[in-house]
Structure 1
Amino acid sequence: MARKELVPGIGRLSRSQVYARRQLYKGKKTGTAPAKPEAAPTKEVQVKGSKNGGSRLVPTSKAPRYYPAEDVPKPKQSRKTAKPTKLRDSITPGTVLILLAGRFRGKRVVFLKQLESGLLLVTGPYKVNGVPLRRVNQAYVIATSTKIELGDFKADVKYNDSYFSKSEKKRTRSAEDEFFEDGKPKEKESFPESKVADQREVDKVVLAAVKKTEYLAKYLKASWGLSKGEYPHQLVF
């Protein structure tokens, strides 16, 4: 039989080993501690002497007598308030924009509306040049003089910033399984059918407006780029 103590007063098992062996982690604490009444910040104290007012309000907890030796860093509070992003005057619903950065740089897109974050909601349309509904920063676009008349069309309220946010998914496999499966083709997630229907719904209106102008579809399909000796500040878009 194994001894419980190595020497008198020193146990053979550590505190964590005893905790695991007795399975104390399985016991649920059902009792709840009684709520402590909140102490008042001040209390009234009687003061002797006719000239001292009779009573005074004294704080219940005294301030520390000594200050800390080192200054405790505190985050700097900014007094600036966030202002909504101002849209350039040259960008209006239906304006054809040229993307300057990102996956679809050099493509021409149609501006639909500005989102709450200040980003621009644009579409290719997808059937013309392969650019889907997406958000872009107005700092990375060039507004052209070409404009498409969309009439009374307004992008639905559901097309907001949360519409484009990625869904958070939990990891179903362990890191070890992913390490040994490295090199194998990963399974691609299928694109939601609801967003495919939304793309067709928006492009239906935009395409109808594009077809009213001759060669406008070819203009949107063509990519933009600078040739040798061309400078963007000298061009008229």
Structure 2
Amino acid sequence: MARMKGSRNADYEKERERLLEEVRLRLLASDGAQTSFRELAEVAGVSVATLRHYFGSREALLADVMADMHRRGLPYLLAAATEIRGPVRESLQWFLESLLTGWRMGVGAVHAFGLTAGVGHETLGPVYVKELLEPTLQAAEARLSRHIADGELRHCDVRHAALELVCPVVLGLLHQVQLSGANCRPLNVERFLEDHLETFLRAYVVSPE
């Protein structure tokens, strides 16, 4: 039976996922966020019209790629939020070390793409915040909330505390890796994480009576 006008092919979602994968790999390159819609179509091996059929516009495509990256990261975000890793010092040390490991394994490229595409863009900026930046901050909030509930950290605005914990590390990693600061102003990242954690704990840990 002929396909009804306006209906999707049976393998529509499968092909859409393939296109997302091909485009994602290109966008995560160092200059990927500047890739034109036509170039992305060429990378995916389809025409501009076909890519537009699946995603509508370059802006919508980049937003879908960010959402896809979020979905791929969900198991790691869940672990960062909930996995039990001992008392507060060991727990937050594990969280920061996991952030560092993930950054070196590709998370840094994801954030670099999101920032490059999103800064100054009224649509993609909020998408980056929602799909890529806030999930990491919310994972930190969840972990900190557990330690607050356990009486290890003082009561505070947990969102502020998560920003204080995560943002200096993200900035330091962007500085060293994506901005090549390691070539002109190298930083011992592991030592920085240790010092940063000590500073954070001095500010928030509950002192024994």
Structure 1 and Structure 2 fold alike (TM over 0.5): no
Give the number of the structure whose residues are more often strand, by fraction: 1
**TM-score, structure 1 as length reference:** 0.20
**TM-score, structure 2 as length reference:** 0.22
Give the number of the structure whose residues are more often helix, by fraction: 2
Greater relative CO (CA pairs within 8 A, separation 6+)? 2
Which has more radius of gyration?
1
